[in-house]
Chain A
Amino acid sequence: MKQKNSLEDFRHRLSRYGDGVHDRWLKTPGWQRWIVYALLIVGALLLPSESIGSFMSPYTDWASILFFPIGTYVVLAIGLNVVVGQAGLLDLGFVAFYAVGGYAMALIGTRLGWNFWLILLVGIGLCALSGITLGAPTLRLRGDYLAIVTLGFGEIIRITARNTDSIGGPNGIRAIPHPPSFPDVELFGIKIFKYGVLDPRPYYYLLVALAVIVIILVKRWEKSRVGRAWAAIREDEDAAEVMGVPTFRFKMLAFAIGASIGGAMGVLWAAKAISINPNDFQFLLSATILAAVVMGGAGNLPGVILGAFVVAWLPERFRGLQDYRMLIFGAVLVALMIFRPEGLLPSRQRKAELQEGSGGMGALGAEVPGPESHGEEVASK
């Protein structure tokens, strides 16, 4: 019992510290925030350098794992966060949209020979469309049913790709074109627009650009009427509906936006990967991205980015443990839900929701607080 108390105490201290940092951030004047943003972007651009790489990833090429899995997971997690963290819809088949984007790039690029940028737009459109197609019939379902339907949808996409010979069947598609290069442009000794096979850095810069755009857009949505509608839906859908929020339409919007972000990442990833096949889009990837979102703190963008980074980077850093990484990952997920369900860097609003048991899909059934838990509640007041 004593040990539990000190654990609780530690948790409270930690979360109070987090709140303090958050408060200070809210009070900082605009120009200081812009400096921090600029520094963060510069930091992201400097990340692929050798000196950082030798510490961060002694076993593999740092610049290429920065693109995949780290960067890819970060963008996917930001996309999934719109659906899970902001609108509170549990999507277990997010990888399906990533797959649609990847296959769009691969098919249009090899068959029609279109330009990467054009395909990026088409891919985003296609994914938004498939998000709406999936959302229209299923978003009226209860939370946990929605989870299973999206899981089924993810598998349908993968198995269909595997069984359809005209899109390569189980072998997938090879010789996917790269984005158009400008090999003459050179900055600090790096040919930043030379999209070849050898140097992963140009792709990484492209990814950073995509991530920055996505973050800005998502942040704007979050602060707008749309974001408030999502928060209302997440907390209590019925109440939101009664207050005049067109819940179904906003849920569709969240789905479409999340899908588009996943799709954009799919296009970019396929443009680097040269070849893709259906096994790149396993359920495990959906689960991993979801875990990244939840682990980081669903609904809080810095938290989600941190979560995705940790989930993608740790297994690469500790290659020696590579066999055991999923084992550890599973155990960590359970432990996290038991000890810190709000994630590493939670948003304050979300934390409050989780504490009263309404943070998504309602509380568990058959939880009748016994006399001892009631006592604790009183004591904590």
Chain B
Amino acid sequence: MLNDFVNQFWPATIDGLAFGSIYALIALGYTMVYGVLRLINFAHSEVFMIGTFGAMFVPFALGVSEPLTGLALVGVILLMIVAGTLASAGTAVALEQIAYRPLRKRGASRLAALISAIGASIFLQELFALLVIPNVFNRPEKGRIQMGLPRLMEKSELFSIFGHSVRVDQVLVIVAAVGMMIALDALVNRTKIGRGIRATAQNPEAAVLMGVDINKIVRMTFLIGGGMAGVAGALYLISYENTYYYIGFLFGIKAFTAAVLGGIGNLRGALVGGVALGLVENYGAIFAGSDWKHVISFSILVLVLMFRPTGILGESLQQARA
């Protein structure tokens, strides 16, 4: 047992970091929306799913069938990230406009908003399974079957740690995720929009009195959170090369776990929580077998909520308001 652990420690660490980065990017969307609206955006998982398909569209439309190299590869990867981001951000904003704004205007209860989100989530999943995947991706009758990405790049070893190889795509995922985090942190802490977001999170009424356009801030929050999920979707697709209409469910719950683990409403907490969850999940899988990976994350979620509901870093996009 211990031997297994020693042998698989480094591969599990690298895999955990890569998965954790993706969780962290999705978790940002949950955390930001929660910070501003006190709402668990249940349909955020579908925003991620649409990001993977947005990214998938680029190699599909370009007809990529064999691994690329050099500039072509860089170009396609950048295009995929942009397409994923646009698809996700667009979905997130549309979601806010259609499923949440009417409720918000009326001052509806959070229960109503959560159920509206569940409805939107089911709708988007089915929309892709029934219409988008069969028609846009030309896979009639196969809307519910996993869709693979043709191999884009040779997944060669970049360097090795203690005799275990680290692949290019894994490094790409981790570096890109950290880069996005730094950019987002700067955006929230340094720009005018970021100040508006923080103000709204702290006290919406005072923010309005100070001249913050709250609808614009909410839209920006969904836009940014959705965009991050889109980047996560593109990175996931590049590295793991498959997706399907239901992929958002598991990733959504895990990313939410990551957000709670780090402290919901806290941007840096999302990063910490995501990476921690990715690592724990993969280390746990060494002992218990990969079948139990999901049970491990759900149990972590339950345990964190029971013993430290404010998470590792605490709720701090605003002051914690229980």
Contacts and interface: CB of A to CB of B under 8 A. Distances in A.
B110 A364 contact: yes
Contacts of B120: 330, 333-334
Nearest to B110: A361
A283 B248 CA distance: 13
A152 B253 contact: yes
A89 to B, nearest CB: 10
A333 B108 contact: no
A284 B292 CA distance: 21
B114 interface: yes
A354 interface: yes
A156 interface: yes
Interface string A8-20: 0000000000000
Contacts of B214: 366, 368
Contacts of A361: 109-111, 114
Interface in A225-276: none
A277 B5 CA distance: 33
Interface in A121-170: 137-138, 141-145, 147-149, 151-153, 155-156, 159-160, 162-163
Contacts of A357: 107-109
A141 B305 contact: yes
B113 interface: yes
Interface string B81-124: 00000000000000000110011111111111111101111111
B305 A291 contact: no
Contact of A330 (B123, B200, B204): B123
B249 A360 contact: no
A352 B99 CA distance: 22
B109 A159 contact: no
Interface in A326-347: 326-327, 329-334, 336-338, 341
A363 B108 contact: yes
Contacts of B39: 144, 364-365
Given A364-B37, A367-B107, A147 B114 contact: yes
B108 A155 contact: no
B298 interface: yes
Given A330-B126, A333-B116, A364 B298 contact: no
A361 B256 CA distance: 19
A367 to B, nearest CB: 5
A120 interface: no
A141 B309 contact: yes
A328 to B, nearest CB: 9
Interface residues of B, number: 56
B106 to A, nearest CB: 8
A66 interface: no
Contacts of B257: 152
B104 A367 contact: yes
B119 A337 contact: yes
A320 B74 CA distance: 47
Contact of B40 (A141, A144, A323): A144
Contact of B302 (A152, A290, A324, A362): A152
A365 B36 contact: yes
Nearest to A164: B291
B126 A90 contact: no
Q: Is the interface of A mostly helix, strand, loop or mixed?
A: helix
B68 interface: no
B200 A366 contact: yes
Contact of A363 (B36, B98, B102, B110): B110
A296 interface: no
A143 B110 contact: yes
A357 B108 CA distance: 5
B301 interface: yes
A358 interface: yes
A324 B126 CA distance: 8
Contact of A337 (B40, B112, B121, B256): B112
B305 A145 contact: yes
Given A354-B109, A368-B208, A155 B294 contact: yes
B130 A359 contact: no
A294 interface: yes
B295 interface: yes
A327 B46 CA distance: 14
B161 interface: no
A330 B305 contact: no
B122 A287 contact: yes
Given A337-B103, A365-B204, 5 more contacts: A327-B126, A327-B127, A330-B124, A334-B120, A367-B107
Interface of A: 88, 90, 137-138, 141-145, 147-149, 151-153, 155-156, 159-160, 162-163, 283-284, 287, 290-291, 294, 323-324, 326-327, 329-334, 336-338, 341, 353-354, 357-369, 373
Interface of B: 36-40, 98-99, 102-116, 118-127, 130, 200, 204-205, 208, 214, 218, 249, 253, 256-257, 260, 291-292, 294-295, 298-299, 301-302, 305-306, 309, 322
21 contacts: A90-B111, A141-B309, A147-B114, A156-B298, A156-B302, A284-B122, A291-B115, A291-B119, A331-B119, A333-B120, A337-B103, A338-B102, A341-B108, A357-B108, A362-B109, A363-B107, A365-B39, A366-B200, A366-B204, A367-B107, A368-B208
